[in-house]
A and B are shown apart, each in its own frame.
Chain A
Amino acid sequence: MTSIRGDEVHDSPIGGIDALLADANPVSPDDLKALDAAAGFDDLFERILAEDAAPRAGAPIRRRKSRRTIASLALAATLLVGGATAAAAGWSSVHTGFFGHEGDTENDASEFLDLGADDAPQVAARLAVGIPFAPGDSAAAYIPGLVSGRGLMQADGIRSYLTSDALCGWWGAWLQSDREGDVAARARATSVLRDAPTWPIVVQNDGGGTVTFYEQIAASAERGDGAIVQQAFTANCESLPRNWEHK
Chain B
Amino acid sequence: VSARDARFEALYRATRSDVLGYLLRRTPQREDAADLLADVYLTAWRRIDDVPPGADARLWLFGTARRTLANSYRADAAHRNLADRLRLELRASDIGRAGLDLTDANTAALHDALADLEPDARELLTLTAWEQLTAREIAQITGDAPGTVRVQLHRARAQLRGKLARLGISVARRGDVVETEAGFHHEMEAAASGLLDADRRMLLVEPALQQE
Binding site for B on A (CB under 8 A): 1-29, 31-33, 35-36, 38-41, 43-45, 47-49, 51-52, 76, 79-81, 96, 98, 112, 114, 151-152
The answer on a CB contact under 8 Å between B171 and A4 is: yes
B192 an interface residue at 8 Å Cβ cutoff? no
The answer on a CB contact under 8 Å between B82 and A44 is: yes
Whole-angstrom distance between the Cβ of B18 and the nearest chain A Cβ: 7
The answer on a CB contact under 8 Å between B171 and A13 is: no
The answer on a CB contact under 8 Å between A36 and B170 is: no
> Taking A2-B200, A5-B184, A96-B88 as contacts, is the C-beta distance between A24 and B100 under 8 angstroms?
yes
Closest to B200 in A: A2
The answer on a CB contact under 8 Å between B42 and A51 is: yes
List 24 A-B residue pairs with CB atoms under 8 Å apart, sorted by A's residue number: A3-B178, A4-B172, A4-B202, A6-B173, A6-B175, A6-B177, A7-B176, A11-B150, A14-B208, A15-B207, A16-B173, A18-B129, A21-B110, A24-B100, A26-B24, A35-B93, A40-B34, A40-B86, A40-B89, A47-B82, A48-B38, A48-B45, A51-B80, A96-B85
B125 an interface residue at 8 Å Cβ cutoff? yes
The answer on a CB contact under 8 Å between A12 and B173 is: no
Between B83, B90, B135, the greatest number of chain A beta carbons within 10 A of the residue's beta carbon is seen for B83
Encoded as 1 (CB less than 8 Å from any A CB) or 0, chain B from 111 to 133 comes to: 10010000000000110111011
Whole-angstrom distance between the Cβ of B197 and the nearest chain A Cβ: 5
The answer on a CB contact under 8 Å between A12 and B210 is: yes
Q: Which of B41, B87, B134 contacts A13 (CB 8 A)?
A: B134
> Complex formed: what's the CA distance from A79 to B96 in Å?
14
> Taking A7-B173, A32-B20, A44-B82 as contacts, is the C-beta distance between A22 and B130 under 8 angstroms?
yes
The answer on a CB contact under 8 Å between B130 and A43 is: no
Q: Which of B16, B37, B87, B161 contacts A17 (CB 8 A)?
A: B161
Main secondary structure of the interface of B (DSSP, over half): helix
The answer on a CB contact under 8 Å between A15 and B126 is: no
Residues of chain A lying within 8 A (CB to CB) of residue B96: 26-27
Among the listed stretches B55-63, B66-74, B152-160, which one makes contact with chain A, having 4 or more residues with CB under 8 Å of it? B152-160
Q: Which of B38, B97, B171, B200 contacts A16 (CB 8 A)?
A: B171
Whole-angstrom distance between the Cβ of B141 and the nearest chain A Cβ: 14
> Complex formed: what's the CA distance from A47 to B12 in Å?
13
Whole-angstrom distance between the Cβ of B80 and the nearest chain A Cβ: 7
B196 an interface residue at 8 Å Cβ cutoff? yes
A-B contact count (CB 8 A): 214
The answer on a CB contact under 8 Å between A35 and B17 is: yes
The answer on a CB contact under 8 Å between A44 and B86 is: yes
The answer on a CB contact under 8 Å between A36 and B17 is: yes
Closest to A80 in B: B92
B5 an interface residue at 8 Å Cβ cutoff? yes
> Complex formed: what's the CA distance from A51 to B43 in Å?
11
The answer on a CB contact under 8 Å between A40 and B83 is: yes
> Complex formed: what's the CA distance from A79 to B30 in Å?
14
B203 an interface residue at 8 Å Cβ cutoff? yes
The answer on a CB contact under 8 Å between B212 and A13 is: yes
B9 an interface residue at 8 Å Cβ cutoff? yes
The answer on a CB contact under 8 Å between B176 and A152 is: no
Residues of chain B lying within 8 A (CB to CB) of residue A79: 89, 92-93
The answer on a CB contact under 8 Å between B161 and A44 is: no
Whole-angstrom distance between the Cβ of A161 and the nearest chain B Cβ: 13
B95 an interface residue at 8 Å Cβ cutoff? yes
> Complex formed: what's the CA distance from A87 to B45 in Å?
30
> Complex formed: what's the CA distance from A217 to B8 in Å?
47
B205 an interface residue at 8 Å Cβ cutoff? yes
Whole-angstrom distance between the Cβ of B91 and the nearest chain A Cβ: 8
The answer on a CB contact under 8 Å between B37 and A32 is: no
Residues of chain B lying within 8 A (CB to CB) of residue A27: 21, 24-25, 95-96, 99, 130
> Complex formed: what's the CA distance from A29 to B130 in Å?
9
The answer on a CB contact under 8 Å between B181 and A2 is: yes
B3 an interface residue at 8 Å Cβ cutoff? no
> Complex formed: what's the CA distance from A41 to B187 in Å?
48
Which 8 A/B pairs are nearest by Cβ-Cβ distance? A40-B86, A15-B208, A6-B176, A21-B129, A40-B85, A12-B208, A98-B88, A43-B85
